[in-house]
């Protein structure tokens, strides 16, 4: 069934290509480009409770790099660590390895060598770039499978976050939002199935896609969006631990 859905998407893309190509080029040319968040790629959220801190690693695309927030403490890594610490009553040592524009396949080559191997909890945050770069569903599954297996082999609990709903990204014109939103749902279905097969957790927590939850570029979360997303993830992760 997923194969036929994928073929239907490609058929729609090719049919609409004469309209989509100039639209995509104009959108790319006019897009507001924000820098990654400032600050160190790792930090510590202390707790009054005794005991070893939870070692949290986030690996992924621009949201892990904190695009849309001023510093990483205000981005997903810092917000998730803070929310987890409060929920688990435990200190959290976090590391954020993110790159703007990276795909899951590229992360296997560029980010894995930098990752700490003693993490207790690894959160994989991918999907937007693989959607917009037209990564095939097979290549998407292969790359994610490699990432999951790598961290599981070192004893970490691996969590895959849902592919964001691109149909709500205000920076994109309506037609692109619909097409990429459709593709994102196909990618997310593959992600959910793969996580189940590999014994990884799938976390479908999403921020409400209202304008105040998005940065000025209409594409990345704002500091408020990151806080809401981090708290939602922490709630689901806290229940699973």
- The pLDDT tens digits for 70-100 are 999 999 999 999 999 999 999 999 999 999 9
Closest CA to 120 of 39, 178, 57: 57
Q: How far is Cα 123 from Cα 154, in angstroms, rounded to an integer?
A: 14
Q: Is the pTM of this model over 0.75?
A: yes
What integer pLDDT is reported at residue 171 of this predicted model? 81
Of all residues in the chain, the percent with pLDDT exceeding 90 is: 60
For residue range 9-48, list pLDDT tens digits in order: 778 778 887 787 777 778 777 777 888 898 889 999 987 6
Q: Is the pLDDT of residue 241 over 60?
A: no
CA distances from 11 to 4, 5, 167, 211 (A): 10, 10, 19, 32
Please name each of the domains of the chain with its CATH number: 2-240 (3.40.50.1110)
Secondary structure of the chain as H, E, C letters? CHHHHHHHHHHHHHHHHHHHHHHHHHHHHHCCCCCCCECCCEEEECCCCCCCCEEEEEEECHHHHCCCCCEHHHCHHHHHHHHHHHHHCCCEEEEEEECCCCCHHHHHHHCHHHCCCCCCEEEEECCHHHHHCCCCHHHHHHHHHHHHHHHHCCCCEEEEECCCCHHHCCCCCHHHHHHHHHHHHHHHHHHHHHHHHHCCEEECCCCCCCHHHECCCCCCECHHHHHHHHHHHHHHHHHHC
For residue range 115-144, list pLDDT tens digits in order: 987 999 999 999 999 999 999 999 999 999
For residue range 216-236, list pLDDT tens digits in order: 888 889 999 999 999 999 988
Most confident of 8-17, 180-189, 210-219: 180-189
């Amino acid at each position: 069934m997923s194969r036929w859905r994928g073929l239907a998407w490609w058929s729609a893309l090719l049919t609409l290509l004469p309209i989509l190509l100039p639209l995509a080029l104009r959108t790319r040319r006019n897009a507001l480009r924000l820098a990654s968040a400032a600050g160190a790629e790792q930090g510590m959220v202390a707790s009054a409770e005794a005991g070893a801190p939870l070692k949290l690693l986030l690996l992924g695309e621009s949201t892990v790099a904190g695009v849309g927030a001023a510093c990483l403490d205000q981005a997903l890594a810092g917000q998730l660590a803070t929310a987890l610490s409060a929920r688990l009553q435990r200190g959290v040592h976090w590391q954020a390895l993110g790159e703007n524009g990276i795909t899951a396949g590229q992360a296997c080559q560029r980010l894995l060598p930098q990752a700490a191997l003693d993490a207790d909890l690894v959160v994989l945050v991918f999907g937007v770039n693989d959607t917009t770069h037209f990564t095939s569903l097979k290549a998407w599954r292969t790359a994610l499978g490699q990432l999951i297996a790598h961290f599981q082999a070192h004893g970490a609990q691996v969590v895959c976050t849902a592919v964001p709903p691109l149909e709500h990204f205000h920076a994109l014109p309506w037609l692109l939002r619909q097409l990429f939103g459709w593709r994102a749902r196909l990618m997310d279905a593959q992600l959910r199935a793969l996580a189940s097969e590999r014994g990884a957790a799938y976390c479908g927590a999403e921020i409400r896609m209202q304008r105040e939850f998005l940065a000025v570029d209409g594409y990345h979360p704002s500091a408020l969006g990151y806080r809401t997303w981090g708290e939602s993830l922490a709630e689901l992760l806290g229940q699973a631990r």
